[in-house]
Amino acid sequence: KNQVEQSPQSLIILEGKNCTLQCNYTVSPFSNLRWYKQDTGRGPVSLTIMTFSENTKSNGRYTATLDADTKQSSLHITASQLSDSASYICVVSGWMDSSYKLIFGSGTRLLVRP
Amino acid sequence: GAVVSQHPSRVICKSGTSVKIECRSLDFQATTMFWYRQFPKKSLMLMATSNEGSKATYEQGVEKDKFLINHASLTLSTLTVTSAHPEDSSFYICSARDRTGPGELFFGEGSRLTVL
């Protein structure tokens, strides 16, 4: 079964600290993996997109890693800011049953406290 | 960067009426668009996949006669909630997949539907 599991479900950190969010997937065949940030009441915004050949990709203070062998990805946030408080969603895509499908993780809710 | 516009952002309607939500890709073409529903503090739930020029593919448990999806062009998809009821009140979000490059996925800002 094609699944995307994220951990932790929620996380509270102090402003300025670093944190790492995890995404494990069983989607096969794999096309690419995306990380999104979703503020409450807003649409998700893309942070990174990686194909199977990419191991790491950065976007400012956000760095995503991908291990296609173990089917794991992580999103590392450096020097967290209050504005980082949001849900972070991992999305894995691939061609399944002759159609392009996106499998969403349930997200990690991050709260950054002053 | 690429933008997906959703309209309206908020809508309030009476029970029994129909509501149409538009999703437009403003500076790219999208052969595939997706519609989601999201309840408070819950993750996005895929409702249907909309392919330009063909019928939408609905996820299990989503009533296709209740949620009508039309993808008439490479830049526009619409979701019509027919005969809306209070339990249809939710946050509806669309996304569009760029047909070029790695097929990056862009989301709209969402539409909050309240059915009285």
The string of DSSP letters for chain A reads ---EEEE-SEEEEETT--EEEEEEE--SS--EEEEEEE-TTS--EEEEEEETT--EEEETTEEEEEETTTTEEEEEE-S--GGG-EEEEEEEEEEETTEEEEEE---EEEEEE-
pLDDT for A86 = 96
Residue B21's DSSP bridge partners are: B79
Confidence of residue A98 (pLDDT cuts 50, 70, 90): confident
Mean pLDDT value of segment A84-96: 91
| CB-based contact, A32 to chain B, within 8 Å | yes
pLDDT for B2 = 66
| CB-based contact, B106 to chain A, within 8 Å | yes
Interface with A, mutate which of B104, B105, B106, B113 (most A CBs under 10 A): B105
- Sheet containing strand B76-81, edge to edge, reads B4-7, B19-25, B76-81, B67-73
Confidence of residue A61 (pLDDT cuts 50, 70, 90): very high
pLDDT for B1 = 60
- Chain B residue with CA closest to A92: the answer is B105
| CB-based contact, B52 to chain A, within 8 Å | no
pLDDT for B43 = 83
Asked whether the CA dihedral A11, A17, A20, A21 is positive or negative, the reply is: positive
Pairwise pLDDT comparison (A12 vs B102), residue with the higher score: A12
pLDDT for A1 = 67
Pairwise pLDDT comparison (A113 vs B71), residue with the higher score: A113
The tens place of each residue's pLDDT in chain B, 116 residues long, gives 668 999 999 999 999 999 999 999 998 998 889 999 998 888 888 999 988 888 898 999 999 999 999 988 889 999 999 999 999 999 999 999 888 877 788 999 999 999 99
Task: Tell me if A46 and B34 make a contact (CB, 8 A cut-off).
Answer: no
Residue B4 carries which DSSP code? E
Q: How many angstroms separate the first and last alpha carbons of chain B?
A: 37
Residue A63's DSSP bridge partners are: A58, A76
Q: Determine the Cα–Cα distance for residues B43 and B52; give it in Å rounded to an integer.
A: 26
Confidence of residue A34 (pLDDT cuts 50, 70, 90): very high
Q: Is B84 helix (H, G, I), strand (E, B) or coil?
A: coil
Task: Tell me if A99 and B49 make a contact (CB, 8 A cut-off).
Answer: yes
- Comparing A33-37, A99-103, B95-99, the range with the smallest average pLDDT is A99-103
pLDDT for B104 = 80
Measured CA to CA in angstroms, residue A78 lies from A62, B32, B42 at distances of 7, 34, 26
| CB-based contact, A87 to chain B, within 8 Å | yes
Q: Is B87 helix (H, G, I), strand (E, B) or coil?
A: helix
